[in-house]
Amino acid sequence: MAKSLQGIIEAIKPLDEAAMQAARQRQDELTKPQGALGRMEELSIQIAGITGNPRPRIKDKAIIVMAADHGVVASGVSLYPQEVTAQMMHGFLAGTAGINVLTRHIGARVVAVDMGVIGGFEPRPDLICKMIDFGTKDMTQGPAMTRQQAIDAIESGIDVIEAEITKGLNIVGTGDMGIGNTTASAAICASITGTPVAQVTGRGTGLGDDQLSDKIKMIESALEMNKPDSKDAIDVLAKVGGFEIGGLAGVILGAAANRIPVVIDGFISGAAALIAATLCPQATAYMIAGHQSVEIGHLVMYDHMGLEPLLKLNMRLGEGTGAALAISIAEASCKILDEMFTFAEAEVAGADKDVR
């Protein structure tokens, strides 16, 4: 394991219990029945523990969207041609994609990162190039990437998040783009959680029954051929993963090391979270499960990590769209904690807890 990755893992500490206790006490004293705001109260307390601030404020928000291509597409696991990855990236950069609409809605910035899109892009200031290679290899024929490439992908993600922190960042969401990446994510999920492939593999972009059956068989074949070590996250990433998945795992670890809450988006982001959590179980405390995708393996991932999604909207777009919506809820929960008056501050009669 590279020194910088090891250093980031070692920098991830437990949540700040004192900040959480102070936030919990304030929540109990706000002008409402205790627990009346449910998950929002729990979320604000978690964010207090993450940041070390009993009254955290969320101002600077970003969705980091990482893109890469997958060699397994050659085996026919997607309805869309591989060039759609690059075409969608152009949409992100033009500000016309779903994630652009939602980030404008919540006042966040989109950070677009090329982790390995076939053909690449002309240099431009609004695109970060962290290309590992022009897409992964076909995992049904051998490992998707080398072990060093897997490490490089994770460390690239760490570089991206740390650069964004210097610009101002209070919360970050993960986003993805990559034709074929639900196949890689299902393979990662099956490997790390030990769940049968058929129970974690969905229809992706809309596969029919026969195509889904073929997809399941391809993943089973890839796992049998490559035999990833479920206890070694880097081995799993190298054998059946994707460059954008590795990059997002680095974003998650980097955020945790810097005490920044990270909101997990959909199935692909969930695969990245599994990689990060396997490398450093403590990192899960810094994760907020944004939403539950219709991909059947997504809830398996969350259950394995002990996370509960904030939203269930039957979404499966990716891009960070679910994370953007969840960031809005996270911001609202912190505003409640910080801006709502306590009974004492509001001079409301009957402030005694026993009366309430």
Which pLDDT score, from 0 to 100, does residue 101 have?
Answer: 98
Beta carbons within 8 Å of 208's beta carbon, 6+ residues apart: none
Query: What is the model's pTM?
Result: 0.96
Domain boundaries, the chain: 3-56+337-346, 61-331
Which pLDDT score, from 0 to 100, does residue 351 have?
Answer: 54
Which pLDDT score, from 0 to 100, does residue 350 have?
Answer: 56
Q: 186 near 165, Cβ under 8 Å?
A: no
For the chain, list residues with pLDDT below 70: 1-3, 349-356
**Residue from 155, 244, 295, 319 carrying the catalytic annotation:** 319
CATH architecture observed for domain 61-331: 3-Layer(aba) Sandwich (3.40)
Is residue 319 part of the annotated active site? The answer reads yes
Which pLDDT score, from 0 to 100, does residue 206 have?
Answer: 77
Which pLDDT score, from 0 to 100, does residue 354 have?
Answer: 44
Reading the block at residue 165, the tokens are: 């922190």
pLDDT tens-digit series, residues 130-150: 999 999 999 999 999 999 999
The candidate with the shortest Cα–Cα distance to 173, out of 255, 54, 55, is 255
Q: What's the CA dihedral at 124, 130, 134, 139 to 10 degrees?
A: -150
CATH architecture observed for domain 3-56+337-346: Orthogonal Bundle (1.10)
> Hey, do 3-56+337-346 and 61-331 end up sharing a CATH topology, with the first three levels equal?
no
pLDDT tens-digit series, residues 207-220: 888 889 999 999 99
